[in-house]
Chains A and B, each alone.
Chain A
């Protein structure tokens, strides 16, 4: 074998070794980024569910919403880096998204309604309002009758006084 051929074979072998060495590393980075992205997606989904429950119960969600929006922005950036083939960046951003989502979950937990409580029920509220209206109507009816009687008594009293004065 000539020197040039030997050099070419060596170079080829070297490239094969490098390829074998790099390929699993890239694949591992890709898998890690994909897996972390999936976890971050799940966590942000849970955080959103909590936010919805707190919102339904009339709780303050402003801080939670900001935190979750930051997590979702990182998640989108992570997806972009992944699509661009920058798996290190994708992993790092997905990790940030995961951390922010977990922070959102931790922030939401104390704000969640206690066991046994339920979301506002409009049927019950409506029944209470009908009851209130009924009570107000009854009070108004008897109140009006009473005031009318006072008014009439007052008029009659004045008439009696006028008759007395005239006689």
Chain B
């Protein structure tokens, strides 16, 4: 081997050593730059974002149980304590506002609380069926649901067309204020995570 070849080998080794030195510090920085977000998806009966109901796309029949999952991925830079607040309301009621990060004013009927570490994906079962519906004159009132084998009492007044929606809001525990907040800060912007599934109550 001549001197030029030796120099090439030497430079390659030098370059690899420098990369090795930088790697432990560069890795978290590179990961951080990849994105900082929290995501939530409601998965239907076949673990996909669809197939929420059996009979057709949006009819929930009485006595029918649907098997959903709430999938949460923590792409934020640290561990979070998330509370998924599930709300039931009639379909024309306002949804949460993404621009102002205002949650729905419907009461929370069910909560799921979880600590989720960085880069962790969590699937939470949400198996539910309609419970009691009270019909008084023109009013149809959902008195209860059964969620994960637990009776959830509600008092949601629906219109004659029996259309309702389930809203799923992700709230994050803030250790500065010691309370759950609907706004999830990442480095770039304020983010609020919610999802809703509309349905009609069938026979």
Count of B interface residues, CB-CB < 8 Å: 32
Which of A13-21, A110-118, A140-148 forms part of the interface with chain B? Answer: A140-148
Count of A interface residues, CB-CB < 8 Å: 37
Chain B residues numbered 143-196 whose CB sits less than 8 Å from any CB in chain A: 150-153, 173, 175, 178
A158 at the B interface (CB under 8 A)? no
Shortest beta-carbon distance from B122 to chain A in Å: 10
Which of A69, A129, A152 is close to B114, meaning CB atoms less than 8 Å apart?
A69
Shortest beta-carbon distance from B123 to chain A in Å: 14
Query: Which B residues are CB-close (under 8 A) to A132?
Result: 21
A107 at the B interface (CB under 8 A)? no
- Is the pair B81, A48 in contact by a Cβ cutoff of 8 Å? yes
Which of A1-9, A23-31, A50-58 forms part of the interface with chain B? Answer: A50-58
Binary per-residue interface labels of chain B (13-37) against chain A in the complex, 1 for a CB within 8 Å, 0 otherwise: 0100110011011001100000000
Shortest beta-carbon distance from B41 to chain A in Å: 20
- Is the pair B153, A144 in contact by a Cβ cutoff of 8 Å? no
A interface SS class: helix
Known contacts A45-B178, A48-B173, A55-B117: A140-B111 contact under CB 8 Å:
no
Chain B residues numbered 26-62 whose CB sits less than 8 Å from any CB in chain A: 28-29
Query: Which A residues are CB-close (under 8 A) to B113?
Result: 69, 72-73, 75-76
Which of A68, A80, A137 is close to B111, meaning CB atoms less than 8 Å apart?
A80
Residues of chain A at the chain B interface (Cβ within 8 Å): 42, 45, 48-49, 51-52, 55-56, 61, 65, 68-69, 72-73, 75-77, 79-80, 83-85, 122, 125-126, 129, 132-133, 136-137, 140, 143-144, 147-148, 151-152
A-B pairs, top 6 by smallest CB distance, nearest first, are: A72-B113, A76-B111, A84-B153, A140-B14, A48-B81, A49-B175
